């Protein structure tokens, strides 16, 4: 009985941090990504120029941090600040989930 109680206690202790770091919903992110496609292309794969990064396949943590930094002003770009400012934490999680789940079509030449 003590083993079961200990296992439950450990399981609950591990579940709390995981719940606090819930990830976004890629399907919701896809719907929210429409404004992003104007500069970053469909699925974040075809930016309109070299100053616009490919978002597809980027790590979710990187995308999350970049959006939070644009939102806070820690990273400066007038267009991105305006787009990131109204985003909720869930919006950012959803966008990060969506773009990180896209396959990058970036081709390298050897």
pLDDT at position 11: 52
Question: Model's pTM, two decimal places?
Answer: 0.76
User: Average pLDDT per run of 10 along the chain, which is 110 residues long?
Assistant: 51 46 88 95 92 95 98 96 97 98 73
Q: Please check whether residue 57 is in contact with residue 103, taking contact to mean a CB–CB distance below 8 angstroms.
A: yes
Instruction: Report all structural domains of the chain as residue ranges with CATH numbers, in order of start.
Output: 24-100 (1.10.760.10)
pLDDT at position 106: 74
């Amino acid at each position: 009985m003590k083993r079961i109680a200990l296992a439950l206690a450990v399981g609950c202790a591990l579940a709390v941090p995981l719940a606090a770091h819930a990830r976004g919903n890629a399907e919701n992110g896809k719907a929210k990504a429409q404004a992003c496609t104007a500069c970053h292309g469909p699925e974040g794969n075809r930016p309109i120029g070299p100053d616009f990064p490919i978002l597809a396949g980027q790590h979710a943590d990187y995308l999350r941090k970049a959006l939070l930094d644009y939102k806070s002003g820690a990273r400066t770009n007038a267009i991105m600040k305006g787009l990131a400012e109204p985003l909720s934490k869930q919006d950012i999680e959803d966008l990060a989930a969506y773009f990180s789940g896209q396959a990058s079509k970036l081709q390298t030449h050897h």
